[in-house]
Amino acid sequence: DIQLTQSPSFLSASVGDRVTVTCRASQGITSYLAWYQQKPGKAPKLLIYAASTLQSGVPSRFSGSGSGTEFTLTISSLQPEDFATYYCQQLNSYPYTFGQGTKLEIK
Amino acid sequence: QVQLVQSGAEVKKPGASVKVSCKASGYMFTGYYMHWVRQAPGQGLEWMGWINPNSGGTNYAQRFQGRVTMTRDTSISTAYMELSRLRSDDTAVYYCARSSSAGATPDDAFDIWGQGTMVTVFS
């Protein structure tokens, strides 16, 4: 199975900050990577697919980059509603796997 | 609007089976692969497999092979996930989620999710 390792696992930041979350794959997955946001008690929400394509309706402060084994999710200017847990997911090979999550908290 | 509505919470004893439903509306049910993902309390996300609602074809994660069955009823635009021989570590929220692109492959990100179904296994 392909393992996805997110760093950091916890991130404390302030409104207006620029934050970056990294997702590393144990083997190459070309651009078959997605990012999701999950708030407590809610289903995940798709933010980015194909590593860098913004899902319709998602604010442009979210961006994704990378290919192969290293990927990043960047939020350019944190808003109060962005405090949540973020997951990466690979869809290159079975079983589709998720990273362990990055919890973004208010400083 | 496009949505997936899942069945309600379940409480089961170890060794029993559970069947969760996922009713689609607002789009062509047979045009998009449907996936199932679970999340144990306080834990991350785990992909269980997919079903092609058009053909009924399935692909299960190996760790669930032999215990999971995914089916669909196209007449009511509903997908089902049945998990048998339940154990306490199957306690989780189970989600259905749609592949984001209509078409021939399931390897697109999941753009629409159900609200989740809590399954609790305890004796």
The residue-averaged pLDDT of A41-48 equals 98
CB–CB contact A49 B109 (8 Å): yes
Residue B109 has a pLDDT of 94
Residue B101 banded pLDDT, cuts 50, 70, 90: confident
Indicate if the pLDDT at residue A21 is higher than 80.
yes
Residue B102 has a pLDDT of 77
Distance from CA of B7 to the nearest CA of A (A): 15
Question: What count of other Cβ atoms lies within 10 Å of the Cβ of residue B7?
Answer: 16
CB under 8 Å to B48, separation ≥6 — which residues?
B35, B36, B37, B38, B60, B61, B64, B68, B81, B94
Q: Does B104 lie at the interface with A, CB-CB under 8 angstroms?
A: no
**% of chain A residues with pLDDT over 70:** 100
pLDDT in tens, B109-123: 999 999 999 999 998
Chain A residue at shortest CA distance from B49: A95
Within 15-74 of A, beta carbons closer than 8 Å to B belong to 32, 34, 36, 43-46, 49-50, 55
Query: Given CA atoms B108, B114, B28, B23 in this order, what sign does their dihedral have?
Result: positive
